[in-house]
Structure formats: structure tokens, C-alpha cells
């Protein structure tokens, strides 16, 4: 397992197992029933996506398999039932179509103001995740270089580079906004950005999300 993935994976798995321990600390594994596991999983994952629900089910099933094998127990895994497998199955989706260059150019052109334009360009031209864009502080920007703090990859930091014209536009925006070094350059929330991007897509009769812009960058960069 790569170290860049390990940190976030372990953190997520650890939090989930903490919930399991809190719920079943006084219950012996031999006493666990499928209904117990179904209730626990539903409580923990009801607000999550189907793929994440499936992941949590697979994680707890693997954990119980390990416990059963390590303890030499002659019991069936309480997660190993058709009902739970069906309830937490993952339904594969057809891959989304990659936005073409002309469409992205039009989305950016219609952005409405310099702040929104920069947010879109940093995703579509530089490949940043929306969370990375929103976490940028003035001190993270030096010329064409962007320091990405605590990226999703699990590294402590990463470096991204901007095209010259975007770097110039961003520098002018920061100067005009009189940001201090520790100020967030885009002090808005994910929901606001998502609504903005969805609205721009609606004007073009297409369904898009913030991640579609990053996906475009990965394809056309």
C-alpha cells in the first residue's frame, strides 16, 4: 500500500472501527447477529453514498473475518448474509463523459466575476480539487507555484503550477483584495461553489459538478 494513500485510509478505517467498538464493546463476537450488523451499518452510513456504504460493509466484514480466523472460532461471519450483501452492494455507474475544451472554455467565460473565474481555472487548467482551491491562502502562492497544504493524497503538501496568465490574474486578484498572508484567497464554502458550477452547467443544458473540471484537466492537460 502506498504511503500517500495509507494515511487517509487508516484514519477513515480507524474512525469506523471506533464506532464499532463503542457499539459492541460488551458483546462477544460469537453473539453478534446479522440484524445487529445491519442496524449498526445503517446507522453509520445512512447519509453516505452507495459506494461508501459498500466500502464500510466490506471493511467491517473483513475485520470480523480476521477476528474469527485469529481466534479460531467456528462461526459464520454475521455480515456474510444475502440480505446484507444486497443492502450494501455497490452499483457500478457508467463513466461520466469528459467535458470537451470548448465547453469548459464557455463555462469559464460565463463565470461572471474574477473570483469565480479563478476558481474554475484552478480546477480546469491546474487540476486542483475544489477543497484544495478553497483552502489556498495567500502565503501558499508564489509566482506560478501553488503549495497545496494537506492534500487528499495524504502527503503533507504538494506543489502545483499555473499557466503564466492564470498566475498573473491570481496575483492581481490578491493585490486588489488586500489579502494578508494567512487569509484564504477564496473564503467561501463548497456548497456555494458547487451551486455556481451547477448553475453554469444548467445554462449550457449539461449536468456538471466541480470534479468534472478536474477530470477535464487530467484528460486534456
Chain segment 138-167, per-residue pLDDT in tens: 999 999 999 988 777 667 778 999 999 999
Q: Indicate whether 156 and 61 sit together in one domain.
A: no
* Overall domain count for the chain: 2
Q: What is the pTM of this model?
A: 0.60
Identify whether residues 176 and 113 lie together within a single domain. Answer: yes
pLDDT tens readout for residues 62-118: 999 999 999 999 999 999 999 999 999 987 766 678 899 999 999 999 999 999 999
DSSP 8-state symbol, 139? G
Task: Provide the 3-class DSSP secondary structure of residue 206.
Answer: coil
In a domain, 96, yes or no: no
Exposed, middle or buried by CB within 10 Å (0-12, 13-18, 19+), for 201? middle
Domain boundary among 87, 114, 145: 87
**Average pLDDT of 29-37?**
94
* Helix %, strand %, coil % of the chain (to 5): 60, 5, 35
Q: Does residue 188 lie within any of the structural domains? A: yes
Residue 130: CB atoms within 10 A of its CB come to 20
Q: What is the extent of the structural domain holding 154? A: 101-220
The reply to whether 143 falls in a domain is yes
Amino acid at each position: 500500500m502506498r504511503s500517500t494513500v495509507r494515511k487517509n485510509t487508516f484514519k477513515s478505517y480507524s474512525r469506523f472501527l471506533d464506532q464499532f467498538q463503542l457499539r459492541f464493546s460488551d458483546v462477544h463476537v460469537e453473539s453478534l447477529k446479522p440484524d445487529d450488523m445491519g442496524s449498526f451499518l445503517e446507522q453509520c452510513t445512512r447519509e453516505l453514498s452507495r459506494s461508501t456504504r459498500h466500502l464500510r460493509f466490506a471493511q467491517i466484514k473483513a475485520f470480523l473475518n480476521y477476528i474469527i480466523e485469529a481466534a479460531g472460532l467456528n462461526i459464520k461471519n454475521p455480515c456474510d448474509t444475502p440480505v446484507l450483501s444486497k443492502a450494501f452492494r455497490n452499483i457500478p455507474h457508467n463513466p461520466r463523459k469528459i467535458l470537451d475544451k470548448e465547453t469548459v472554455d464557455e463555462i469559464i467565460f460565463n463565470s461572471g466575476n474574477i473570483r469565480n473565474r479563478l476558481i474554475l481555472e484552478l480546477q480546469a487548467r491546474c487540476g486542483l480539487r475544489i477543497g484544495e482551491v478553497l483552502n489556498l491562502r495567500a502565503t501558499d502562492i508564489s509566482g506560478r507555484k501553488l503549495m497545496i497544504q494537506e492534500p487528499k493524497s495524504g502527503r503533507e503538501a504538494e506543489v502545483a503550477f499555473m499557466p503564466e496568465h492564470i498566475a498573473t490574474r491570481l496575483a492581481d486578484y490578491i493585490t486588489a483584495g488586500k489579502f494578508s498572508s494567512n487569509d484564504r484567497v477564496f473564503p467561501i464554502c463548497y456548497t456555494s461553489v458547487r451551486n455556481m458550477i451547477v448553475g453554469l452547467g444548467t445554462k449550457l443544458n449539461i449536468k456538471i459538478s466541480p470534479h468534472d473540471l478536474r477530470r477535464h484537466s487530467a484528460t486534456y492537460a
